[in-house]
Amino acid sequence: YTPGKPEGDVKGFIDFVLSDEGQRIVKKKEFVPVRSLS
């Protein structure tokens, strides 16, 4: 949780996790991806 919009390193981390590469890692580690990967 962050008050307001994320900035700096937090925003960078969130952007990475939500990216295609980040979502592939999430799925590979057997977590549930945020969106379906085609």
Residues 6 and 16: beta-carbon distance below 8 Å: no
Residues 6+ apart with CB under 8 A from 34: 17, 18, 23, 26
pLDDT at 37: 58
DSSP symbol at 31:
P
pLDDT at 1: 77
The pTM score is 0.70
pLDDT at 38: 57
* Per-residue confidence in pLDDT tens, the chain, 38 aa: 778 999 999 999 999 999 999 999 998 998 877 766 55
Query: Tokens 């990216």 appear where?
Result: 19
Torsion of CA 18, 5, 9, 17, to 10 degrees: -10
pLDDT at 16: 96
